[in-house]
Amino acid sequence: MGYRKLQKHIIDAAKKPKKKKGSCGCGRSPTGLCVGWHSLSEEKYKERKVQYEAMEKEKKQVVLHARAIDGFGE
């Protein structure tokens, strides 16, 4: 990589907004924090989403807390 190309790469990387550690990068998490749903197949993801949406508000806060690995015990 040439100097100019490297310099542009560094500048472009610096302009990108930084993701908060633990935040969801795939867009599947209902909480905004990674709960492991990125590894689910599309079919399993849809099942989990329906299950999550059917839960009461209080239970949602417990099931997908910040330390959850992948939610719903998988």
Instruction: Give me the tens of pLDDT residue by residue for the chain, a chain 74 residues long.
Output: 687 887 787 777 777 666 666 688 888 888 888 888 888 999 999 999 999 889 888 777 777 665 555 555 44
Distance CA(61)–CA(24), nearest Å, equals: 16
Q: What is the DSSP secondary structure assignment for residue 29, as one 8-state letter?
A: -
Using an 8 Å Cβ cutoff, are 22 and 33 in contact?
A: yes
The number of C-alpha atoms within 13 Å of 24 and in the hemisphere containing its C-beta is 19
Distance CA(64)–CA(30), nearest Å, equals: 9
pLDDT the model gives residue 57: 81
Give this prediction's pTM: 0.55
pLDDT the model gives residue 35: 83
